[in-house]
Amino acid sequence: MGRSPRILLSIASTALIGWTAAALIQGNTDISQQNTLNVDVCVIGGGAAGTYSAIKSKDLNKTVVVVEQQDRLGGHTTTYVDPVSNTSIELGVAEYEDTSIVREWFARFKVPLYQYNITIPGVTSEYMDFHSGQIATPEQGDLFGAWDAFQTQVARYPFLDYSLDSVPFLVPADLLLPFGQFITKYNLQDAVPYFSLYGEAWGNFVTLPTLLAIKYFPPSFFNPATLYSGAPGALASKDNSLIYEKATKELEPNAPLSSTVLSMDRSAAGLVKITVQTPSGKKLICAKKLISTIAPLIDNLKGFDLNETESPIFNKFRGHSWYLGLVNTSGVPDNVTLINYGINNTNNFNIPVLPGVYDIFATVVPGLHFFSFGGNDSQPSFTQSQVKTNLQDTLTRLRATGSIPGSSEAAKAFNIIDFSSHTPYEVYVSSEQIAKGFYNKLFALQGQRNTYWTGAAFVTHNSAAIWNYTDQLVTKMWSEGQSTTALSLS
């Protein structure tokens, strides 16, 4: 068979319906029985939501396969282990809300949890305008007061506590305001540096629909009083990738890594056929159910047989960008964290001007800092070398103005020793779409065509909340499954 997957894909996108039967039959003639896998459930994406879906199904004695495009499970969890000190530095997911689901999930893998501590003794934060190199001295406002005022507003919307599935059809007008207007309306300005730091990858978060901002900042998790006082508030493990390494071992050989979906056919009752490109060739997966956990941007759902109801929903999603890297010999003192402050960006609460480096954080390992970088809506995507150039120019400016020590020439000496792209990130829709009942339409897809959807776009970027929602979804999925006639595969 000479038909490449690429040709199959172009057929899929030009004739969405009806192509699958013919193309799949033709396309699959080279997939032998030996390369066909019959399972109860196929999970697409093996990050927080996907790994949870797979292990939970496995623990319910279902057969599972996870299709993951990276060469490891874990998604946004990326842990760097310093070879000298054997210390872990989390470049991605660092901490978890203290909930029963989180404790049970880590106990499931016998991975201990500790109280998370954001403070590194002796390290101070300095604000600088990374575009001009100037030191900034923002006024320290009443953060705790502004946070309390925010909580008063948040308490009006209890339907946002767990996932986005309970957003009412008639969305309250305040939730449709751009978050910047909401901040001004309720005098929350003193909390902006805090929103800006924890919500940094939202880009220009001032334009974000308030509904999504509120969903992102759950009262217990982001409470500055617990985070900054050192009182118990959040949990962390010594190495957040450990649960994923253990899950991979349990799921093997049914966790094909570096693998992508080529095509899919969900037209039959109780059966989903997925053709997957894996490092050992094309495989056909026949599953009773499909759980998609990937960022559901239309481009990322390529290979899915989206129909005329599904495509117009997913094509409303947009994504932000976020890149994280670890650098040595940057010349930034070990006891200093630098935060980008848009001195002249006064219309936007002085948030950083993008594209640009958001911040350069001290780590517990002397000599190492980690930085984060984001694009803007018109240029979201960057290569590692573009990010490196931007960081280098930033360090050069900060030195030229004397804001950090060392000569401008020395700014070229740093090394990026770890780098990860978290793009697309923080997938969102406009207020206009939310007002038109977007989330009702989205959640109405659950269970249709044997397909279930979870992950950050359906909840928010919070592992505890994602695991809670996914736990309920998978439980419901298998209890529904029991009432239908069991399908005999192969």
Ligand X SMILES: *[C@@H]1O[C@H](CO)[C@@H](O)[C@H](O)[C@H]1NC(C)=O
Ligand Y SMILES: Cc1cc2nc3c(=O)[nH]c(=O)nc-3n(C[C@H](O)[C@H](O)[C@H](O)COP(=O)(O)OP(=O)(O)OC[C@H]3O[C@@H](n4cnc5c(N)ncnc54)[C@H](O)[C@@H]3O)c2cc1C
- Where on the chain is the footprint of ligand X (CB under 6 A)? 60-61, 86, 99-101, 115, 117, 119, 121-122, 124, 129, 132, 134, 162, 230, 232, 238, 307, 309-310, 328-329, 333, 335, 343-344, 355, 367, 376, 378-379, 415, 417, 445, 448-449, 468, 472
Residue closer to ligand X by CB (options 146, 473) is 473
Residue in 256, 302, 243, 300 with CA at minimum distance from that of residue 39: 256
**Is residue 322 within the footprint of ligand Y (CB under 6 A)?**
yes
Within 365-394, the residues that bind ligand Y by CB under 6 A are: none
Within 86-105, the residues that bind ligand Y by CB under 6 A are: 92-96
| Farthest CA pair distance, the chain | 73
Specify the 3-state DSSP secondary structure of 78. coil
**Is residue 47 within the footprint of ligand Y (CB under 6 A)?**
yes
Within 259-288, the residues that bind ligand Y by CB under 6 A are: 260-261
Residues 6+ away with beta carbon under 8 Å from 118:
95, 227, 228
For strand 281-292 and strand 36-44, is the pairing parallel, antiparallel, or unpaired?
A: parallel
40 binds, among ligand Y, ligand X, none (CB under 5 to 8 A by kind): none
Residue closer to ligand Y by CB (options 164, 295) is 295
Residue 336 CA to residue 341 CA, distance in Å, equals: 15
Residue 366 CA to residue 407 CA, distance in Å, equals: 21
Residue closer to ligand X by CB (options 69, 307) is 307
Taking CA 200 as the corner, what is the angle to CA 194 and CA 376, rounded to the nearest 5 degrees? 140
Q: How far is the CB of 60 from ligand X (least distance, A)?
A: 5
Residues 6+ away with beta carbon under 8 Å from 193:
138, 143
Stretch near ligand Y under the rule CB under 6 A, chosen from 67-75, 276-284, 341-349, 408-416? 67-75
Beta carbons of 50 and 291 less than 8 angstroms apart: yes
* Torsion 130-131-134-136 (CA) sign: negative
99 binds, among ligand Y, ligand X, none (CB under 5 to 8 A by kind): ligand X
232 binds, among ligand X, ligand Y, none (CB under 5 to 8 A by kind): ligand X
- Residues 448-487 as x/- pattern, contact with ligand Y by CB under 6 A: -------xx----xxx--x---------------------
Q: Dihedral angle at the C-alpha atoms of 19, 23, 25, 27, nearest 10 degrees? A: -150
Give contact residues for ligand Y (rule: CB under 6 A).
Answer: 44-50, 67-70, 75-76, 92-96, 260-261, 293-295, 300, 322, 324, 422, 425, 455-456, 461-463, 466
